[in-house]
Structure 1
Amino acid sequence: MSEKEVLEILGEKVALGESATVYFNVAKLHTQNTIDVPVIIERSKKPGPTVLITAGIHGDEINGVEIVRQIIAKGINKPSRGTIICIPVINVFGFIHMDREFPDGRDLNRVFPGGKGGSLASRVAHKLITEIVPHADLIMDFHTGGADRFNAAQIRIIKNEIVLDELAQVFGAPFIFYSKNLNKSFRNTCYKMGIPMLLFEGGKSFNIDANITNTGVNGAKRVLNHLEMLNKKFKVSQPKKSCVCINDSKWLRAKFSGMFKATVKINSKVEKDDVIGHITDPYGSFNHFVKAPNNGYIFNINESPIIYQGDAIFHISIKLEK
């Protein structure tokens, strides 16, 4: 799909070769102050695809916001052809309050496609889906792990989608994790609309990690370069290692409450029965060895020093894609 000469978005018209920052406003704060979500648009004079780059669906996922911020600050979002639309913080309400959810207590990523007469989160989802997403040919959505659970840099896509497989390999994150689209998620709604999405996961909430940020920014550059949209002044590096494709996985949960310390690093390949962590008590009378249940890669680690029985402490691959 090639784009029109004039992009009409949120009541504004942006022609080829123009830049614009437009805003969508859904509701005011209880103080009557307006909250505007900036939508940053860069258009080349040369027609081409439209790529939408988003982050901050969850207000506590700061590293995703930082990735999109760097893409804008470095000028990576100024395409050699086509259009790049950036929304660094979708859930600006949660970002302001340093909270994952919306003020109405809802998870934005569980209310899509939303409705204009629904909850606050539902209204934001509806506006995003009806007024911005239809312009996109591809979406790159940046997330991080929840709470203290640190995600290895990974692209999440569904299986058996040739375009997504190709683009995920081009992005070059250490892992490609094949996961089903969750009902009422942003990804699932875009899939139903026929718009491919690369969902990036990396890092943990309330944290900015330089390696995760670099992986996200470099991956976005590779994808834009693949689409012949990246400005020639930017160099594109090749991934240090080939992607590991994870077909299935399991969460390893704590058998005991206590003080927790992982003894393996994120991205590590482990063998069955390797010791990968310890659960102890404050009094030195208890030390439980956490062992790998199978051969696989550790691609999420709980970095909380205090855990409770049943808490997810490791995410490990079970089956790798051949």
Structure 2
Amino acid sequence: MIIHNTAILPGQQATIRIPVGQLPSGNKISIRAHVYRGPDPGPVMLALGGVHGDEINGVEILRRAIHLGYFEQIRRGAVIAIPLLNIYGFINYSRDVPDGKDVNRSFPGNAQGSLASRVARLLTRKILPNIDFGIDFHTGGRNHYNFPQIRFTKGDPKALELATQFGAPFSLSSKPISKSFRKAALDKGKTIIVFEGGENLRYDGVSISTALEGLNRVMAGQGLIDQDAPASRGRILPENEWIRAPKAGMFLWQKCSGQPIVKGEPLGLLNDPFGEEPSTRIYAPRDGFIIGHNNAPVVSPGDALYHIGYGDHDAPVATRRSRKK
């Protein structure tokens, strides 16, 4: 295996710094790829975090995996772990790079294009050809909490296999978004599943521990490590929808992510900030599970309040300690 002119032989480990640019101050920026190669042949897995610079949980998941020696036990194949791809966004507490572009909408990238496109191109050219499959770790966006879940490509048997092995509480099948890393990888015959857990700029212990357990199960299931990882059967939800704010106001949720809901059940309230109008109740449209909710206290018309998943009602129920307001 050769990455950025560095050869990693069977049984070897290496930390490879791949230059991606520099700051206006002149400080050079490099992406660190931690490579762990087992002594025997096998598949190559990518573990990727920080595609969005403010999604701290993904960075922390892989930081812990590296620090705790998760990848030291590789027996077959290899793992390429990149805890932080979008360093520009990370140091600016931002989802995007400084020009406002989203790295995860810039693949496969262009070496002469925008900054986001150049970061994407580096991953496409330097890393993607070396892997067989990968896990891309994300969180919810600003003020939006995602219960730990896997997004996998509909119609891709390998993606379903990986999602099942990961065993997140919820798994959703969907078509990959145009110009996303998952779509660019799929175009090259590589399978990427996406983990979502928590919200931006906040640690979430439930999401981090769930991701580490799932990561270990995938490595065991794919034969990279000699370990019997306890199975965790989650729910595969074939349908999902967003419940949006019908008007502006102050949002107070009454049920949160991870909880089952029943059609017609009250989920939250929209209140007039001046106390002059009656509250507007938000109701569950049908039986399902809350897989994401909005923590913003002030919302505008059309803002996403809840992400609801449907299906697989006979599987074990996901649980999370309620943070009812």
**TM-score normalized with structure 2 length:** 0.92
1:315 aligns with 2:310: no
1:103 aligns with 2:94: no
1:236 aligns with 2:229: yes
- Matching residue of 2:44: 50
Matches within 5 A, 1:19-58: 19-58=13-52
Give a deviation string over 1:185-210, Cα, whole Å, max 9, x none: 10000001001111111111111111
- Matching residue of 1:152: 147
Name the CA distance, whole Å, in 2 between partners of 1:101 and 1:67. Answer: 20
Give a deviation string over 1:223-259, Cα, whole Å, max 9, x none: 0011222254xx73332xx322222221111112222
- Matching residue of 1:17: 11
Q: Check whether the contact 1:76–1:231 (CA below 8 A) recurs between aligned residues.
A: no
Matches within 5 A, 1:281-296: 281-285=272-276, 286-296=278-288
Identity of aligned residues (%): 37
Matches within 5 A, 1:56-135: 56-78=50-72, 79-135=74-130
Q: Check whether the contact 2:153–2:193 (CA below 8 A) recurs between aligned residues.
A: no
| One-letter code aligned to 2:32 | P
Runs of 4+ in 1 over 4 A off after TM superposition: 318-322
Residue among 241, 245, 266 paired with 1:250: 241
Name the CA distance, whole Å, in 1 between partners of 2:309 and 2:180. Answer: 23
- Matching residue of 1:277: 268
Alpha-carbon distance, 1:142 to partner: 0.4
- Matching residue of 1:4: none
Alpha-carbon distance, 1:178 to partner: 1.0
Q: Check whether the contact 1:245–1:321 (CA below 8 A) recurs between aligned residues.
A: no
1:268 aligns with 2:259: yes
Name the CA distance, whole Å, in 1 between partners of 2:200 and 2:49. Answer: 13
1:302 aligns with 2:294: yes
Alpha-carbon distance, 1:319 to partner: 5.1
Q: SS of 1:165's equivalent?
A: helix
Q: CA RMSD in A?
A: 1.6
Name the CA distance, whole Å, in 1 between partners of 2:131 and 2:313. Answer: 29
Name the CA distance, whole Å, in 2 between partners of 1:227 and 1:182. Answer: 26
Name the CA distance, whole Å, in 1 between partners of 2:272 and 2:308. Answer: 25
Give a deviation string over 1:63-112, Cα, whole Å, max 9, x none: 11111111111111221222111000100110011101011211000110
Q: How many residues align?
A: 312
Name the CA distance, whole Å, in 2 between partners of 1:177 and 1:90. Answer: 24
Return 5+ residue gaps in structure 1 as ranges: 1-6
Name the CA distance, whole Å, in 1 between partners of 2:95 and 2:212. Answer: 23
| One-letter code aligned to 1:77 | F
Q: SS of 1:47's equivalent?
A: strand
Q: Check whether the contact 1:60–1:98 (CA below 8 A) recurs between aligned residues.
A: yes
Q: SS of 1:16's equivalent?
A: coil
Name the CA distance, whole Å, in 1 between partners of 2:75 and 2:310. Answer: 41
Q: SS of 1:132's equivalent?
A: helix
1:224 aligns with 2:219: yes
Q: Check whether the contact 1:102–1:120 (CA below 8 A) recurs between aligned residues.
A: yes
Name the CA distance, whole Å, in 2 between partners of 1:170 and 1:26. Answer: 34
1:167 aligns with 2:139: no
| One-letter code aligned to 1:210 | G
Give a deviation string over 1:269-308, Cα, whole Å, max 9, x none: 2111100111123444432211111221111100111212
Q: SS of 1:181's equivalent?
A: coil
Q: Check whether the contact 2:165–2:231 (CA below 8 A) recurs between aligned residues.
A: no
Name the CA distance, whole Å, in 2 between partners of 1:293 and 1:209. Answer: 28
| One-letter code aligned to 1:310 | G
